[in-house]
């Protein structure tokens, strides 16, 4: 007889505790700041891709989720500074375990992870994300590649002073830094 | 204190040897051996970068420092073991036993890494890099260097094919020593001094070498890379398969590195008896034909509308078999296998011709040829092997005579052996040719690049007069006869067929001097096709068609009724095509034959057009598939197994490198085609074909007598005319070098070559354009001076803008008109118009 009340006691006391249930998908709570969410392929401040197609992410991946094929940049058709760019870039989110080894391996900080976690679908094909889906959006002041390296006189300027030069040119055009750009930085 | 341990070995030191102690181990080493090799033999690995067993010692990198004690006295500083020869009583301590040597090596490594970028993860060499490996095994874990590293703009193009990242270079000088010592074209060298020292090229002279790819392979860091492979893959991505080069008859061992179903790169294999560790740029870089868009992947049959349409194998083979069966009873079938087949495929063709087509009309020679050549091959070449003449014997010979053979252009590894022999032991290499080509200059005994003595090794002949010159050699150049007598070697190229009497003269000279004769064809399959019986006069194993016993032997082995194999020799390539054009032959089976390679391309093309029924067994869309009734695709080398016979007659086997599903080798296609024609070839697989051929064995009877053709009269050029000399360059418009822009960029420029007197007589100026013409067409190219005989003009036979047979319709030794093209409008486009 006592056990009966003991059982309901648990139910009753829980009614006054803080609720841990997330109201997803109606409510959309942010993930932890360093959450390993969907990947992003970043861009240089002028819009060129940072990926050089070196495939180190694919090599680092323990789940073999990444496929990269490099291509040659030419003076007429330049996607990234330097000689090579990632012509084909795919991440298979059916395989990705979100370990983040790929972003540690990336020598250009091209590949990073965002906080986006809605990675579910009803078919396999759509879960293989291609380069177009993974590339960071073009921010104001960026230009979609292919185009030549826009910032600075030489490669040294481009890599070392690129962000400053981009800010300077944006300020010169009297365009205020937009909140989205600030957030990304 | 002495480092010497107690003498433990009481055995006497053998003659020519010295006894020394390395890391406490007593060892006998031949006199003159380099210390680092003695260590290697003991299993003691001393780290090194500049040392290479095939290059002269340099002591450039200082990585191999060891502690040495001589005569009981310790040398004051550690010594480079790659430059020090062994000596009696020497006591050596490597890094394993000497802290001094270990510290010295670590110090050198730290110095080398000061300016070396830490880009191993994105460097092509990372994973197979001696610097990376030895920095791990013999270097310090930390660097004390804190300043910015030296950087250079990257990459520096050494040529269109070879790219140099100077900041990665550790100045070991392997590449410069290779260029100078092995290849002999020192276009790449050390520039500047001190901290600015770097590898570079002369600004006006590109690194134009046929062997430049080897510098990439021996570079111990990732400083030299090829445009074709740079950033395409890493060593651990690749699946490596041993292979054999299909581009020429040298027979180089290679390594195919494949990834994701394509060949990413090819490296020279290490076969000390054949190619040592080298291969030429064509063999190394020309492999994209494998994945060319022109590849035929499905059988095709010409429909009623006159167009080729893809069809099934069953239908394609049925149509082909029906057409061939009809043709066999109404005239006959001619078979042209081409010169790029493996032995197994050539044997399948040879057997197909006899068993399914009931004919001897089969000839592998897709090039200018002669009956004299067949006689020569039957008497002196077929049935020989490396036991008679091989690379080792070639290298050891005191003298070599090259006849109608330009070694660097036509068999580059033979050239490297000749150069090595000339350089190392003063082998006299004579060339019967027209001008002092780079190969003639670099096989001169003196190692100097342009010594006046070099001209001694060229026996100059007017094109067409080579046979007469050889016959008169005793009077005009007795020193050549003298040098060849006593172990000399005569290398004769396939171009000898273009000069009547030349093969006979070679045979006569060989008999007179006792010199061994080597036949060096240009294509990889020629030697094997000869042995396999893809010849009008010979059955497999070198059995003469006219020999009844030999025929009976083959008929028995193949299970044929007696008398099935025709007793008369068949037609050769030109006659087969002629007969097909005249309707005497009702059908042709054509393998990898390019009509433009034949003596008369226009006639060959029209013969193929007019052939009653044409079956093409091909890799790529070609001039033959354009007019074929049935096209059957075959597998390229990377997707099949097989073997080639190289010029020595050495069997060079290779396996499948790429996934071979859906593609069939020639022998399988022919076998199935024969089954459709109701006979069985038993060549379903290369292994089955090889076994079938091996069971036949070689001809046991006496070889037929050699050729006895008379030299033709040389032509005398009239006013405004010259005698044409021509041969192919290694990197040219050949069909297996398609889709290789970086390789094509390293080709030697196509030029019209004449000597100064002829240039003056014909009104030509060096550097300006000249037009060479016949009634069929013309070729316009810049003029370059060369020491040709008077009244002779030289053209590359198949280079860009100079396709001699196609444009002019003539060949070596024939008369052409030559004039300056300065004023001629529209003639300067460099392309021979065939109008």
Query: pLDDT tens for residues B110-146?
Result: 999 999 998 888 899 999 999 999 999 988 888 898 8
A70 neighbourhood in chain B, CB within 8 Å: 231-232
Number of domains in chain A: 1
Confidence of residue B151 (pLDDT cuts 50, 70, 90): confident
Q: What b/e readout covers B432-451, taking b as 16+ CB neighbours within 10 angstroms?
A: bbbbbbbbbbbbbbbeeeee
DSSP at B735: G
Tell me the longest C-alpha to C-alpha distance in chain A: 86
Phi, psi torsion values for B209, nearest 5 degrees: -135, 145
Considering only the beta carbons, identify the residue of B121, B155, B232 that sits closest to A56.
B121
User: Which of B157, B165, B167, B231 would best serve as a mutation to test chain A binding (most A beta carbons within 10 A)?
Assistant: B231
pLDDT at residue number B771: 94
A55 neighbourhood in chain B, CB within 8 Å: 234, 237
B122 neighbourhood in chain A, CB within 8 Å: 52, 54, 56, 107
Higher pLDDT, B556 or A155: B556
Confidence of residue A65 (pLDDT cuts 50, 70, 90): very high
Q: Kindly report the number of other CB atoms within 10 A of residue A145's CB atom.
A: 20
Strand partners, A68: A89
Mean pLDDT of A96-113: 94
pLDDT at residue number A64: 94
Could you tell me where the beta strands, DSSP code E, fall in A35-151?
39-41, 66-72, 84-92, 111-113, 128-129
Residue B427 contacts by C-beta under 8 Å, 6 or more apart in sequence? B395, B397, B398, B399, B400, B418, B421, B445
Domain boundaries, chain B: 17-112, 300-367+527-683, 374-521, 721-824
Binding-site residues on chain B for chain A (CB distance < 8 A): 119, 121-122, 155, 230-232, 234, 236-237
| Interchain proximity A105–B232, CB inside 8 Å | no
- For the stretch B731-772, pLDDT in tens is 998 888 888 888 998 899 999 999 999 999 999 999 999 999
Query: Over chain B, what is the mean pLDDT?
Result: 90
A100 marked as binding residue: no
Measure the CA–CA gap between B727 and B169, rounded to whole angstroms.
38
Smallest CA–CA distance from B232 into chain A, residue: A70
pLDDT at residue number B826: 37
Shortest Cα distance, chain B CAs vs residue A70, angstroms: 7
Flag whether pLDDT at A180 surpasses 60: no
Mean pLDDT of B368-383: 94
Smallest CA–CA distance from B118 into chain A, residue: A107
User: Is A172 among the domain residues?
Assistant: no
User: Is A70 among the domain residues?
Assistant: yes
User: Is A92 among the domain residues?
Assistant: yes
Measure the CA–CA gap between B659 and B667, rounded to whole angstroms.
18
User: Is A9 among the domain residues?
Assistant: no
Q: Kindly report the number of other CB atoms within 10 A of residue B194's CB atom.
A: 5
| Interchain proximity B121–A52, CB inside 8 Å | no
Considering only the beta carbons, identify the residue of A70, A105, A107 that sits closest to B231.
A70
Measure the CA–CA gap between B571 and B566, rounded to whole angstroms.
12
The DSSP secondary structure of B99-129, one letter per residue, reads: HHHHHHHHHHHHHHHHSS-S-GGG-TTTTS-
A52 neighbourhood in chain B, CB within 8 Å: 122
- For the stretch A27-57, pLDDT in tens is 888 889 999 999 999 999 999 999 999 999 9
CATH architecture of B17-112: Roll (3.10)
**Helix count (H) and strand count (E) of chain A?**
7, 5
A59 neighbourhood in chain B, CB within 8 Å: 234, 236
- pLDDT above 90 covers a percentage of chain A that reads 62
Considering only the beta carbons, identify the residue of A59, A84, A105 that sits closest to B231.
A84
- For the stretch B717-731, pLDDT in tens is 888 899 999 999 999
Flag whether pLDDT at B452 surpasses 80: no
The answer to whether B341 and B364 have CB atoms below 8 angstroms apart is yes
User: Which of B122, B163, B164 would best serve as a mutation to test chain A binding (most A beta carbons within 10 A)?
Assistant: B122
Mean pLDDT of B361-389: 94
Confidence of residue B827 (pLDDT cuts 50, 70, 90): very low
Measure the CA–CA gap between B30 and B13, rounded to whole angstroms.
10
Q: Which CATH class is domain B300-367+527-683?
A: alpha beta
Phi, psi torsion values for A112, nearest 5 degrees: -135, 175
The answer to whether B642 and B342 have CB atoms below 8 angstroms apart is yes
Flag whether pLDDT at A177 surpasses 90: no
- For the stretch B391-430, pLDDT in tens is 999 999 999 999 999 999 999 999 999 999 998 888 999 9
Whole-complex ipTM: 0.78
- pLDDT above 90 covers a percentage of chain B that reads 77
Residue B230 contacts by C-beta under 8 Å, 6 or more apart in sequence? A83, B124, B155, B163
Smallest CA–CA distance from A59 into chain B, residue: B237
Mean pLDDT of B34-41: 94
Both tokens assigned to B791: 């009244």
Residue B376 contacts by C-beta under 8 Å, 6 or more apart in sequence? B496, B503, B504, B506, B507, B519, B706, B707
The answer to whether B243 and B267 have CB atoms below 8 angstroms apart is no
pLDDT at residue number B391: 96
pLDDT at residue number B445: 73
- For the stretch B767-813, pLDDT in tens is 999 999 999 999 999 999 999 999 999 999 999 999 999 999 999 99
Both tokens assigned to B361: 């009309």
User: Is A60 among the domain residues?
Assistant: yes
Structural domain span for residue A71: 37-148
Mean pLDDT of B287-302: 91
Both tokens assigned to B137: 């095994």
User: Is A97 among the domain residues?
Assistant: yes
* CA nearest neighbour of B686 among B712, B713, B663: B663
- For the stretch B306-350, pLDDT in tens is 999 999 999 999 999 999 999 999 999 999 999 999 999 999 999
A102 marked as binding residue: yes
- For the stretch A119-128, pLDDT in tens is 999 999 999 9
pLDDT at residue number B208: 79
Measure the CA–CA gap between B609 and B598, rounded to whole angstroms.
15
The answer to whether domain B374-521 has CATH 3.40.120 is no
B119 neighbourhood in chain A, CB within 8 Å: 107
Measure the CA–CA gap between B221 and B835, rounded to whole angstroms.
53
Q: Is B535 helix (H, G, I), strand (E, B) or coil?
A: coil
The answer to whether B117 and B125 have CB atoms below 8 angstroms apart is no
- For the stretch A91-100, pLDDT in tens is 999 999 999 9
Measure the CA–CA gap between A5 and B478, rounded to whole angstroms.
125
The enclosing domain of A100 has a CATH number of 3.30.70.3270
Global pTM reads 0.90
Confidence of residue A24 (pLDDT cuts 50, 70, 90): confident
Confidence of residue A155 (pLDDT cuts 50, 70, 90): confident
Both tokens assigned to B532: 């396999």
Flag whether pLDDT at A116 surpasses 70: yes
Flag whether pLDDT at A183 surpasses 60: no
Q: What b/e readout covers B617-648, taking b as 16+ CB neighbours within 10 angstroms?
A: bbbbbbbbbebbbbbbbbbbbbbbbbbbbbbb
Does residue A141 belong to the interface with chain B, where contact is any CB pair within 8 Å?
A: no
| Interchain proximity B122–A107, CB inside 8 Å | yes
A173 marked as binding residue: no
Confidence of residue A173 (pLDDT cuts 50, 70, 90): low
Q: How many residues does chain B have?
A: 835
Measure the CA–CA gap between B317 and B339, rounded to whole angstroms.
23
Lowest average pLDDT, out of A62-71, B455-464, B579-588, B617-626, goes to: B455-464
| Interchain proximity A59–B234, CB inside 8 Å | yes
| Interchain proximity A54–B232, CB inside 8 Å | no
| Interchain proximity A52–B232, CB inside 8 Å | no
Flag whether pLDDT at B824 surpasses 70: no
pLDDT at residue number B663: 92
Smallest CA–CA distance from B236 into chain A, residue: A59
* A23-30, long-range: CB < 8 A, 24+ apart: A30/A115
Measure the CA–CA gap between B73 and B532, rounded to whole angstroms.
66
User: Which of A75, A81, A83 would best serve as a mutation to test chain B binding (most B beta carbons within 10 A)?
Assistant: A83
Lowest average pLDDT, out of A146-155, B433-442, B501-510, B627-636, goes to: A146-155
CATH architecture of B721-824: Beta Barrel (2.40)
Cβ neighbourhood burial of A87 (10 Å; 0-12, 13-18, 19+) = middle
Mean pLDDT of B29-42: 94
């Amino acid at each position: 007889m006592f056990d009966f009340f003991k059982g309901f006691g648990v139910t009753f006391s829980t009614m006054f505790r803080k609720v841990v249930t997330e109201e997803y998908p109606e409510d959309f709570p942010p993930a932890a700041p360093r959450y390993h969410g969907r990947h992003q392929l970043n861009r240089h401040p002028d819009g060129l891709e940072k990926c050089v197609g070196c495939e180190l992410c694919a090599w680092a991946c323990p789940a073999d989720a990444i496929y990269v094929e490099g291509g040659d940049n030419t003076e007429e058709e330049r996607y990234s500074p330097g000689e090579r760019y990632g012509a084909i870039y795919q991440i298979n989110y059916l395989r990705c375990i979100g370990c983040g080894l790929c972003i540690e391996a990336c020598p250009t900080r091209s590949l990073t992870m965002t906080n986006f976690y809605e990675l579910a679908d009803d078919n396999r094909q759509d879960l293989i994300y291609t380069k177009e889906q993974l590339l960071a959006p073009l921010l104001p002041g960026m230009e979609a590649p292919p185009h030549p390296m826009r910032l600075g006189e030489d490669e040294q300027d481009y890599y070392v002073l690129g962000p400053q030069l981009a800010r300077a040119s944006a300020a010169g055009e009297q365009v205020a830094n937009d909140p989205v750009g600030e957030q990304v930085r | 204190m002495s480092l010497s341990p107690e003498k433990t070995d009481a055995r006497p030191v053998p003659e020519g040897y010295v006894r020394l102690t390395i890391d406490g181990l007593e060892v006998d080493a031949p006199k003159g051996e380099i210390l680092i090799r003695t260590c290697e033999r003991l299993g003691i690995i001393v780290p090194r970068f500049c040392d290479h067993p095939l290059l002269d010692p340099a002591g450039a990198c200082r990585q191999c420092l060891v502690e040495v004690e001589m005569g009981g006295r310790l040398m004051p500083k550690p010594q480079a073991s790659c430059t020090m020869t062994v000596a009696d009583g020497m006591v050596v301590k490597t890094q394993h036993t000497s802290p001094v040597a270990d510290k010295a090596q670590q110090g050198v490594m730290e110095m080398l890494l000061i300016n070396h970028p830490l880009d191993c993860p994105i460097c092509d060499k990372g994973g197979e890099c001696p610097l990376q490996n030895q920095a791990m095994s013999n270097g310090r874990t930390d660097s004390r260097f804190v300043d910015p590293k030296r950087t250079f703009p990257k990459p520096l193009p050494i040529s269109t094919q070879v790219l140099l990242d100077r900041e990665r270079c550790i100045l070991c000088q392997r590449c410069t020593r290779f260029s100078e010592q092995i290849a002999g074209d020192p276009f790449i060298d050390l520039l500047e001094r001190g901290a600015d020292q770097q590898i570079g090229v002369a600004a006006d002279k590109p690194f134009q070498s046929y062997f430049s790819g080897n510098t990439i392979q021996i570079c111990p860091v990732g400083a030299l890379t090829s445009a074709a492979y740079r950033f395409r893959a890493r060593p651990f991505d690749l699946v490596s398969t041993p292979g054999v080069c299909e581009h020429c008859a040298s027979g180089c061992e290679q390594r195919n590195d494949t990834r994701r179903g394509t060949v990413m790169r090819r490296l020279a294999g290490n076969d000390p008896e054949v190619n040592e560790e080298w291969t030429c740029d064509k063999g190394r870089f020309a492999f994209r034909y494998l994945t060319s868009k022109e590849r035929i992947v499905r059988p095709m049959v010409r429909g009623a509308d006159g167009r080729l349409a893809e069809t099934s194998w069953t239908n394609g083979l049925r149509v082909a078999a029906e057409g061939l069966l009809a043709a066999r009873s109404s005239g006959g079938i001619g078979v042209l296998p081409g010169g790029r087949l493996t032995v197994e495929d050539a044997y399948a063709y040879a057997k197909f011709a006899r068993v399914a087509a009931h004919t001897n009309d089969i000839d592998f020679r897709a090039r200018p040829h002669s009956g004299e050549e067949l006689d020569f091959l039957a008497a002196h070449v077929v049935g020989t092997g490396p036991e008679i003449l091989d690379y080792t014997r070639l290298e050891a010979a005191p003298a070599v005579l090259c006849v109608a053979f330009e070694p660097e252009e036509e068999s580059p590894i033979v050239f490297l052996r000749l150069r090595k022999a000339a350089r190392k032991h003063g082998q006299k290499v004579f060339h019967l040719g027209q001008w002092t080509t780079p190969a003639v200059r670099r096989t001169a005994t003196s190692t100097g690049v342009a010594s006046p003595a070099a001209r001694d090794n060229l026996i100059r002949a007017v094109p067409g007069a080579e046979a007469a010159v050889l016959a008169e050699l005793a009077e005009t150049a007795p020193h050549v006869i003298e040098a060849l007598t006593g172990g000399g070697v005569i290398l004769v190229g396939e171009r000898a067929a273009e000069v009547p009497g030349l093969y006979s003269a070679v045979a006569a000279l060989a008999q007179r001097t006792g010199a061994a004769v080597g036949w060096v064809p240009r294509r990889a399959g020629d030697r094997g096709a000869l042995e396999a019986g893809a010849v009008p006069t010979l059955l497999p194993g070198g059995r003469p068609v006219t020999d009844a016993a030999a025929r009976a032997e083959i008929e028995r082995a193949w299970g044929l009724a007696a008398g099935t194999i025709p007793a008369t020799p068949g037609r050769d390539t030109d006659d087969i095509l002629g007969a097909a054009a005249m309707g005497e032959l009702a059908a042709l089976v054509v393998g990898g034959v390019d009509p433009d390679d034949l003596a008369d391309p226009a006639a060959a093309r029209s013969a193929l057009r007019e052939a009653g029924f044409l079956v093409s067994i091909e890799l790529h869309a070609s001039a033959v598939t354009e007019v074929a009734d049935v096209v059957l695709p075959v597998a390229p080398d990377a997707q099949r197994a097989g073997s080639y016979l190289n010029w020595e007659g050495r069997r060079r086997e290779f396996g499948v490198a790429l996934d071979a599903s859906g593609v069939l080798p020639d022998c399988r296609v022919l076998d199935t085609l024969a089954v459709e024609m109701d006979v069985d070839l038993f060549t379903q697989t290369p292994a089955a074909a090889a076994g079938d051929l091996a069971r036949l064995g070689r001809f046991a009877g006496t070889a037929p007598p050699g050729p006895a053709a008379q030299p033709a009269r040389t032509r005398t050029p009239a006013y405004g005319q010259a005698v044409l000399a021509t041969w192919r360059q290694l990197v040219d418009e050949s069909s297996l070098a398609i889709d290789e822009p970086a390789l094509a960029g390293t080709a030697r420029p196509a030029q019209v070559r004449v000597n100064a007197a002829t240039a003056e007589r014909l009104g030509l100026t060096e550097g300006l354009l000249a037009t060479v013409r016949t009634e069929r067409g013309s070729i316009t190219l810049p003029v370059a001076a060369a020491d040709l005989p008077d009244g002779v003009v030289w053209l590359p036979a198949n280079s860009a803008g100079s396709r001699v047979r196609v444009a002019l319709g003539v060949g070596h030794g024939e008369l052409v008109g030559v004039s300056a093209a300065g004023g001629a409008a529209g003639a300067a486009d460099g392309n021979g118009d065939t109008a």
